[in-house]
Amino acid sequence: MTVTDREATSTPPPPLGSDFDPLLDQRAAIGRVDLQPTGNRVIEGRGAIGSSVPLTVELPAERSAVWLVPTDQGTWIAVLDDGSTIEVALDDRSAITATTSSQRGTYDPGAGPPFLADGMLVVESTGRDLFADPLPDTRVITDGRRLIALAAPTDRYDHGVLGDAIEASAVEVVSDDGTSTTPITIADPDVIEAVSPMLGDVDGDGSLDVVLTVSNAETGARLAAYTLDGTPIADTAPVGTGNRWRNLLAIAPTGPNSEVEVIDIRTPHIGGTLQFFRDDGEGGLQLVAAASGYSTHVIGSRNLDLGIVTDADGDGQLDVLLPSQERDALAVVTRDDDVENGAVEVERVPLGAGLTTNVSALSDGDDGVAYAVGTGDGRIIVWPGPASS
């Protein structure tokens, strides 16, 4: 059986509940490679990637993992490069098992990021039939009551860094009564160069905003934030050269005093600079910190999930966990206004081979978080969360 899509639904999913935290909730991360239904790659809980003993699964000969999807059973479903799947279970802090996951079927790795729904791996298309003109490979995100997707496909920008030359030129919103609107339209010649919008409270008013990567053939990519009704909030300056991209990573309280910041990787294929921005209240996203030498994307890939925001070292402050430029190590970068450029790498964990999957996270009991990645030499590596006190 090949599972490549989910049966279309005629109504939006039910609300996520009044206690849903759109920035951090561990529960909401289940089944998603991007960790949150908002598209925001942030997860609560304490990690211990530098101090825990890593556990390793050796995959079948000449196989490597391409996606890791967390489940509500405390396991990961790993999609291998031949479409087969295995289930990886963290039994305790010192043991890990892997079993063939025939009940999940197989999954076409070229179909895009898998998500877990009703126990099966699917392309995230829940409610996509409700959109009037969606981008064919858009991820559908939600604020708990509305569905939001990239829309209005266009070929007017042929960069093709995400695998094709079809990009979006609008954001479409489907309300809980099924009404579709397009509150955000990007004027020619700009496009939205991404696979998903992202939601977060950029301006601190208590409401979720939409953040996009907007690209231009002459000036390259910039970040732009809007309210969900389409009012512009703030943007960055563009990179300054065409065919230069930004991978939007997260919107999270990463500041030294938990200030909310918009985080991206500027030109992840060329030097890769991790950047932190804040709304300046005057229509701009101001750069407040940066650190170079990282990458969260491979040219032509639809895997934009190679970096996450998490308390990776368990010190109570959110960090960015992401690959080195060569993708052969994971680095922990944290904000610190007392250091040059405002950000510092505090840990680096060698992988022994190139990263081949998304960086995945899963609740490890209490408030702990475990991390997992796949590597090009046929391994899945898991770092358990900190031991319970």
Residue range 19-70, pLDDT digits in tens: 445 555 667 778 899 999 899 999 989 999 999 999 999 999 899 999 999 9
**Structure tokens belonging to residue 25:** 């909730």
Nearest partner of 32 among 140, 142, 115, 135, judged by Cα = 115
Q: What residues pair up with 278 in beta bridges, in sequence order?
A: 286
What CATH number has the domain spanning 27-383?
A: 2.130.10.10
Q: What are phi and psi of 340, to 5 degrees?
A: -60, 135
**Would you state the pLDDT for residue 159?**
84
Give the pTM.
Answer: 0.92
**Would you state the pLDDT for residue 65?**
96
Q: pLDDT under 70 in the chain at which residues?
A: 1-26, 102-105, 124-127, 388-389
Q: How many CA atoms lie within 13 A of 189 on its CB side?
A: 11
- Domain range annotation of the chain: 27-383
**Would you state the pLDDT for residue 126?**
61
